[in-house]
Structure 1
Amino acid sequence: MVEGESGLWSGDELDLDAYLARIGYDIGRDGELSTDLRTLKAVHRAHVRSIPFENLDVALGRPVPLDLKSLQAKLLGRRRGGYCYEQNSLLAAALERIGFRVAGRGARNRTRGAALLPVTHALLVVQAEGEQWLADAGFGWQGPLEPVPLRDGARVEQGGWTFGVGTEDEGIHVLRSLRPHGWTDLYAFSPQTLYPGDFTVMNHFSSSHPESRFLGQVVAQQPGTEVRRALVRQTLTTMGTDGVTEERVVTVDELAATLETDFGIEIDDEERAGLERVHAAGV
């Protein structure tokens, strides 16, 4: 079973109608909400499709609160995105409100070669139909579109993208992605349950520590069925299901339009000015 307490993620405080509207989930079209696998997959996919991964507040030197009121104001009301702690805290609240059992986990990113990185990625484990599922709306353009079965040897295809789960020593789970050259590790995590307070501690590091990769640059990412996109510093990269990638440089003058057109991120004039300064400084 997934460990966790009912109400841990403040699901009872969530404006469920606003959340469903933000992710484009229509009950009449997509089905009634229930604690079944169909609902879990549909909500997860709709969330990932609609709310982009981005670090803009970190780039602007702003705090990144994780309380549900702040998350709703930013991700739902202002139609902004967020990074893993924000995305998965909001998703956890929504799933909890629907009735799912949700627990947090902390992972080490493995996408940057052999470097042993600290545990800074937040994800979720959800119980559905007698099985544990890895749910993660916050790993950016390389993340899964739908939940992945949390069992050794699991392999799922999601719209042309294939993900798998392996188990290593000490019960460590590894999420992998199948690329043309073979399997690539995305991240690894232990079965230890994390709580909202643990997300807060990791969030503090990622939003303010000098070694955090989110400081001093603009990051926006979006996984997709056909194409995945990532803007990191000045480079916009697109990747298709065949593994072919294309890159182009985004100039300061193109930044705001790129955020809106490619990622659906709406920013105000003050944010635009600040992000353009960050973008220009990173050249």
Structure 2
Amino acid sequence: MPSQLIPQQEPAPATSGIDLDAYFQRIGYTGDRTPTLETLRTLQRLHTESIPFENLNPLLGLPVLLDSESLQQKMVQRGRGGYCFEQNRLLSFVLQTLGFRVRGLAARVLWNVPEGSVKAISHMLLQVEVGPESYLVDVGFGGLSPTGPVRLELNTVQETPHEPFRLIESNGELEVQAEVRNEWRSLYRFTLREFLLPDYEMFSYYLCSHPNSYFLRSLAVARTTVDRRYGLRDTVLTTHHLGGESEQRELRSVAEFRTALEEIFRLTLPDTPDLDKALQKLIDQTAEEK
């Protein structure tokens, strides 16, 4: 990628108050604490394995808070997950505390969007610098979150622990693509303009309150392991085997939902009676649609 596309930046001060010991225990990290590429790769892989993508808070009408203390309480201490703004902001605090230079970016989602449609900016990702190189880091894209950093370099196929990724230029912007079943699929489009907390709070508020928001009426949960990806969309649980086939089964009871969320996605579920009501509503909606 031409160097002029990559803004220079100063190291961000580590003022987030992040508890590195607790975070590392949550994701099972015992490695080095220096800002190297190997550290970044390991943290991104372990984060996607340990802290699942999930939208239970919007679905249940609970607030989504993006300050460092709230993110730590929810995803580190209480064993929950979150969506892109939560996931990537938490990781950004960790990386800054370790000494990485991090900038917040934002994107328009293209995945499963009809060609020609324009969606609002609704996704957060990170630009992380390691020495002279800049990398794209994203632990919050659900079922296709990259499990390794992607170098900010155009038209280069880059391997990750799961799918290959690449960056292409599209109408003056950057587009992230993943190779899925031997086909390049676009995930989202973005620029290198920096976004800040008030921007993310506004984007997140839209996802939590707009009547057309997918997160208010549907459930999306995802987690990776070394050799597979797990995904849950409403009542359909999918297991994607790395380099192999996919399996699907339908969850038909609240008990099955709870088992999947706790055992497959390793979530500590919120203690509220509204959860069972919301899960039953998804089951009833699916039955009505058939």
C-alpha separation in 2, matches of 1:60 and 1:277: 12
Q: Structure 1 243/205 Cα, relative in aligned 2: closer, same or farther at 3 Å?
A: farther
Q: Do the aligned residues in 1 keep the contact of 2:11 with 2:99 (CA within 8 Å)?
A: no
Residue 22 (structure 1) aligned with residue 23 (structure 2): no
Map Cα deviations across residues 220-252 of structure 1 (whole Å, 9 max, x no partner): 111333111111111112222336322211123
C-alpha separation in 1, matches of 2:150 and 2:29: 20
Question: Which of 279, 282, 290 is 1:279 aligned to?
Answer: 282
C-alpha separation in 1, matches of 2:20 and 2:8: 23
C-alpha separation in 2, matches of 1:181 and 1:22: 34
Residue 124 (structure 1) aligned with residue 130 (structure 2): no
Query: How many aligned residue pairs are there?
Result: 276
2:222 aligns with 221
C-alpha separation in 2, matches of 1:4 and 1:188: 25
Q: Which runs of 5+ in 1 are unaligned?
A: none
TM superposition score normalised by structure 1: 0.92
Aligned amino acid, residue 160 of structure 2: Q
The structural deviation recorded for 1:274 is: 3.9
SS of 1:121's equivalent in the other structure is strand
C-alpha separation in 1, matches of 2:101 and 2:277: 40
The structural deviation recorded for 1:260 is: 0.8
C-alpha separation in 2, matches of 1:37 and 1:163: 17
2:234 aligns with 233
User: Which 10-residue stretch deviates more, 240-249 or 110-119?
Assistant: 240-249
Q: Among all aligned residue pairs of Structure 1 and Structure 2, give the percentage whose two residues are the same amino acid.
A: 33
C-alpha separation in 1, matches of 2:146 and 2:86: 17
Map Cα deviations across residues 49-104 of structure 1 (whole Å, 9 max, x no partner): 11000000111011101111111110011000000000001000000000111111
C-alpha separation in 1, matches of 2:25 and 2:93: 15
Aligned amino acid, residue 222 of structure 1: R
Aligned amino acid, residue 150 of structure 2: V
TM superposition score normalised by structure 2: 0.89
2:96 aligns with 96
SS of 2:268's equivalent in the other structure is coil
Aligned amino acid, residue 39 of structure 1: T
Q: Do the aligned residues in 2 keep the contact of 1:105 with 1:124 (CA within 8 Å)?
A: yes
Aligned amino acid, residue 56 of structure 2: L
Aligned amino acid, residue 129 of structure 1: G
